[in-house]
Amino acid sequence: MGECAEPIRVVVTGAAGQIAYSLLYSIAKGDVFGKDQPIILVLLDIPPMLPVLDGVVMELQDCALPLLREVIPTDKVEVGFKDLDAAILVGSMPRKEGMERKDLLKANVAIFKAQGAALDKYAKKTVKVLVVGNPANTNCLIASKSAPSIPKENFSCLTRLDHNRASSQVAIRCGVPADNVKNVIIWGNHSSTQYPDVHHAKVTVQGSEVAAYDAVKDDAWLKGEFISTVQLRGAAVIKARKLSSAMSAAKAICDHMRDIWFGTKEGEFISMGVYAGGNSYGIPEDLIYSFPIQLKNKGWKVVDGLPINDFSRAKMEATAAELVDERDTAMAFLSQ
């Protein structure tokens, strides 16, 4: 079975944290990169977390997973980022009580500048980089700008969690399984300004595929409560669990990376934050912005030509404006 395939090297940063704890098993088991793809799993975290990482290593060993060839815990980027095929950047500075957004950005610019530079220096030029740590879009842009020798197209940020939240809300509302909903879109920033758009989504109801608006039959809900539920879902989970989304975030990371590796189905698209250069929707170019995306042969393209009404346009522009503001603040820190 997996005898002939060369192992791939995958790093997860923030590897002692709770998202990683939900994520590592799925990666090591073969749910992401394929059932016959051996893996060398590199776990990177900050020095105080090394004892915790040792515990995570023990548990991964104790899972006795056939695809997992080696587990490497480290606090050094030159070890963590060497010869990588994939990098999942989960670790970031979380927002503390009373912290200004600007201070959060400043701390994260420093982290993602360093990680981008390390990717540039040590990783394969073909590495696929997924940024999860918030503010994910801007962190992703900083990492990419700090890694000039790695193509911009190789960097993406996670909006698949928002995408899955939106799909699931529609499915629950229509009383159908989650995979009966396809082609919802998350536009823009992974923040509360994101725009979950179902104008192009389809729902399979009793064997036939219908437009989401026709399946839901409640325009007021779709234009109001549905959007705010998806936008504010992360905060709702924190309020209830006293911890941020981990299980669902890990599942979304797996979906995102698996789609990069194996592609999207014919006629379907997903959401991910990508470099906006050359987009046909009038979004400012020098941003990482979430679009409807199709993937094939480890490359992506934005789905072009979707008609955008005035309601959607206003929301797409509002989230773009927030991203421009974040970028400009971050770039000022970057040049310091």
Please check the confidence at residue 188 and state whether its pLDDT lies above 80: yes
Please check the confidence at residue 100 and state whether its pLDDT lies above 90: no
Q: Using an 8 Å Cβ cutoff, are 250 and 258 in contact?
A: no
pLDDT for residue 3: 57
Q: Which of 163, 190, 200, 256 is catalytic?
A: 190
Please check the confidence at residue 264 and state whether its pLDDT lies above 90: yes
CA-based end-to-end distance of the chain: 52
pLDDT for residue 96: 77
Q: Using an 8 Å Cβ cutoff, are 270 and 293 in contact?
A: yes
According to DSSP H, which parts of the chain are helical?
18-29, 50-62, 77-80, 101-122, 136-145, 160-174, 212-216, 219-223, 225-231, 233-241, 247-262, 310-334
**Dihedral sign of CA atoms 199, 193, 178, 302 in order:** positive
pLDDT for residue 30: 98
pLDDT for residue 258: 98
Please check the confidence at residue 52 and state whether its pLDDT lies above 90: yes
pLDDT for residue 2: 44
The answer to whether the annotation marks 101 as part of a ligand binding site is yes
pLDDT digits (tens, 9 = 90+) for 62-87: 999 999 999 999 999 999 999 999 99
Please check the confidence at residue 265 and state whether its pLDDT lies above 70: yes
Rounded mean pLDDT of 186-192? 97
Phi, psi angle pair for 207, to nearest 5°: 85, -10
The answer to whether the annotation marks 90 as part of a ligand binding site is no
How far is residue 193's CA from residue 332's CA, in Å, rounded to a whole number?
23
pLDDT digits (tens, 9 = 90+) for 126-146: 999 999 999 999 999 999 999
Strands (E) in 174-308, as ranges, are 181-182, 185-187, 195-197, 202-205, 208-211, 270-275, 288-296, 299-302
Q: Using an 8 Å Cβ cutoff, are 182 and 211 in contact?
A: no
How far is residue 133's CA from residue 90's CA, in Å, rounded to a whole number?
5
Report the percentage of the chain scoring pLDDT > 70. 99
Question: What does pLDDT average to over the chain?
Answer: 96
Find the range with the poorest average confidence among 53-57, 240-244, 281-285.
240-244
Find the range with the poorest average confidence among 3-7, 156-160, 247-251, 257-261.
3-7
The answer to whether the annotation marks 132 as part of a ligand binding site is yes
> Cα Rg for the chain, rounded, in angstroms?
20
Rounded mean pLDDT of 228-232? 97
Q: Work out the pLDDT band at 102, boundaries 50, 70, 90.
A: confident
CA distances from 267 to 159, 197, 208, 263, 319 (A): 20, 17, 16, 12, 27
The answer to whether the annotation marks 137 as part of a ligand binding site is no
Higher pLDDT, 219 or 336: 219
Q: What is the DSSP letter of 182?
A: E
190 is catalytic: yes
